[in-house]
Amino acid sequence: MEPSNTEITRRHFMSVAIAAISSFIGAAVGLPGIAYIIGPALKKETEDWVSLGAISKVEPGSPTLFKTTIERQTGWITDQEEVSAYVLTEDGQNYVAMSNICTHLGCRVRWIAEQERFFCPCHNGVFGKDGSVISGPPPRPLDRFETKVDNGVLFIRRG
Amino acid sequence: MTTRLGDWLDERFDWRKVWAAIFLRKIPHVNWLYTLGSATLFVAGLQIVTGILLTLYYVPTPDHAYDSVVYITTQVTAGWFIRGLHHWGASAMVILTVLHLLRTFFYGAYKFPREVTWLSGVFLLLVVVGFGFTGYLLPWDQKAYWATTVGTRIAGVAPGIGDAILRIARGGEELSAVTLARFFGAHVWVLPAALLTLLVIHLYLIIRIGITAVPGRDE
């Protein structure tokens, strides 16, 4: 039996209608679903000045580790987060604050005073006093924070 | 292009036959009440998708459950929408499942040879109610806490085994972190596994046996 034209049209119409409605419902749930998944990743962290401590603690010529904790809102939890920076001054006037996070894969570097080097324990990255790469896999020098000194207190800007 | 891909796949696992068996089967002339099962299936799919999304942020412990739900509702992009769909979808599931059962009952569609389809459907209704009961506790707000207190206490008045049921449901004497954790586990693992197993049986039988016609006076 040869299907008549009207039957083909009807079936075709139904297929298109079902596909259209399905796509609409899929988009109505799918697009908010994607936004829901990636939403927190798109949230920018607020930049802020963090006080590290008295500037007098910095020994000229040797990177000094400053540690401080700040409150941070992560998801529904208010958390204490440790912020660390190595602060270096050569002349007692200009201060450089370096992140202690290795630029390779994010382990924490440590200043070994005897060797005048920063060492990263994970993959043997070695940085000089000013944060420049001396050997190993790190692709760039240690990151630096913007600094300011106010009333003898050193601040860094994190964000 | 799509036809060629379709042919390539068809040569390998004969999917067109499966497609035809599922979607191109002959059905009797029926009315809109026969769409209640499909509607239930659709909402179940929606509940699965939105439920999986909710677990991305929800944490089933007393110190985080409520806060994580508030976070989903007020902070996460479209979180209110995903949670809203899951919330209203839950009510829709119970209503649709019951209406579907009533249609099947009043049309006599549970009779030979469809007794097993009916039976699997009855268990599916129990699973749906179980989803509702366990899911209701998860926001861990006052309403959830006291509703579950009352709900488990009701189970507790069953003669003889009541106290055992209450203790097993709560995971102890009182509602606690243990209760919340086991309700969550039941809601996202035990019940979905039961739902999918029963659903496969239910749908297989519907396709294998076919659906009933609207009963007539002469039959």
Q: Are residues A15 and A28 in the same domain?
A: yes
Residue A147 distance to chain B (closest CA, Å): 32
- Say which DSSP state A44 is in: P
How far is B44 from B127, CA to CA, in rounded Å?
12
The rounded Cα A79 to chain-centroid distance in angstroms is 16
pLDDT at B74: 96
Amino acid in position A118 = F
Q: Nearest 5°: CA angle at B185, between B183 and B187? A: 65
Contact B77 A33 (CB under 8 A): no
HSE of B209 in the Cβ direction (CA atoms, 13 Å)?
Answer: 19
B94: number of Cβ within 10 Å = 16
Q: Give mean pLDDT, residues B121-130.
A: 98
- Say which DSSP state B177 is in: H
The pTM of this model reads: 0.88
Q: Are residues A107 and A52 in the same domain?
A: yes
Q: Give mean pLDDT, residues B19-30.
A: 91
Q: Are residues A77 and A106 in the same domain?
A: yes
Amino acid in position B208 = R
Of residues A29, A40, A77, nearest to B76 (C-beta): A40
Q: Are residues A36 and A52 in the same domain?
A: no
Q: Quick check: A142 and A99 in contact, CB under 8 A?
A: yes
Residue A125 distance to chain B (closest CA, Å): 36
pLDDT at A93: 81
Q: Give mean pLDDT, residues B170-186.
A: 96
* Residues on chain B bordering chain A, Cβ-to-Cβ distance under 8 angstroms: 46, 49-50, 53, 56-57, 64, 67-68, 70-71, 75-79, 81-82, 85
* Residues on chain A bordering chain B, Cβ-to-Cβ distance under 8 angstroms: 29, 32-33, 35-40, 42, 75-77
- Say which DSSP state B62 is in: T
**pLDDT of B218 higher than 90:** no
Candidates B167, B160, B200, B176; CA nearest to B44 is: B200
The rounded Cα B19 to chain-centroid distance in angstroms is 24
Portion of chain A with pLDDT greater than 90, in percent: 54
Q: Could you tell me where the DSSP H helices lie in chain B?
A: 2-13, 15-23, 36-55, 65-74, 79-106, 115-137, 142-156, 162-170, 177-185, 191-209
Of residues A32, A40, A76, nearest to B81 (C-beta): A32
Q: Give mean pLDDT, residues B187-197.
A: 98
Domain of residue A32, residue span:
1-43
Q: Are residues A111 and A146 in the same domain?
A: yes
Of residues A39, A75, A77, nearest to B77 (C-beta): A39
Task: Give the ipTM.
Answer: 0.89
Q: Is pLDDT larger for residue A80 or for residue B184?
A: B184
* Final residue of a structural domain among A10, A28, A43: A43
Sheet holding A133-135, edge to edge: A110-112, A117-119, A126-127, A133-135
Q: Give mean pLDDT, residues B56-83.
A: 97
Contact A77 B79 (CB under 8 A): no
Q: Are residues A74 and A118 in the same domain?
A: yes
For chain A, how many structural domains are there in total? 2
pLDDT at A4: 54
Q: Quick check: A87 and A63 in contact, CB under 8 A?
A: yes
Domains of chain B by start residue, with CATH: 29-209 (1.20.810.10)
Q: Quick check: B69 and B140 in contact, CB under 8 A?
A: yes
Q: Are residues A91 and A131 in the same domain?
A: yes
How far is A139 from A133, CA to CA, in rounded Å?
8
What are B134-157's pLDDT values in tens digits? 999 999 999 999 999 999 999 999
Residue B88 distance to chain A (closest CA, Å): 14
pLDDT at A2: 53
Q: Give mean pLDDT, residues A76-84.
A: 89
Portion of chain A with pLDDT greater than 70, in percent: 94
How far is B206 from B30, CA to CA, in rounded Å?
15
Going B123 to B127 to B128 to B132, the CA torsion angle's sign is positive
Query: B64: which chain A residues are within 8 Å (Cβ-Cβ)?
Result: 76-77
Q: Are residues A106 and A81 in the same domain?
A: yes
pLDDT at A57: 85
Q: What is the mean pLDDT of chain B?
A: 96
Q: Are residues A110 and A137 in the same domain?
A: yes
B68: number of Cβ within 10 Å = 23
pLDDT at B78: 96
The rounded Cα A23 to chain-centroid distance in angstroms is 37
CATH code for the domain in which residue A142 is found: 2.102.10.10
Q: Are residues A130 and A52 in the same domain?
A: yes
pLDDT at A9: 83
Indicate the pLDDT class of residue A23, thresholds 50, 70 and 90. Answer: very high
Q: Are residues A63 and A120 in the same domain?
A: yes
Q: Quick check: A64 and B104 in contact, CB under 8 A?
A: no
Q: Are residues A55 and A93 in the same domain?
A: yes
Contact B77 A77 (CB under 8 A): no
Going A27 to B124 to B199 to B168, the CA torsion angle's sign is positive
Candidates B194, B209, B178, B10; CA nearest to B111 is: B209
Contact B56 A37 (CB under 8 A): yes
Residue A83 distance to chain B (closest CA, Å): 25
pLDDT at B201: 98
Indicate the pLDDT class of residue B15, thresholds 50, 70 and 90. Answer: very high
**pLDDT of A15 higher than 80:** yes
pLDDT at A158: 79
pLDDT at B36: 97
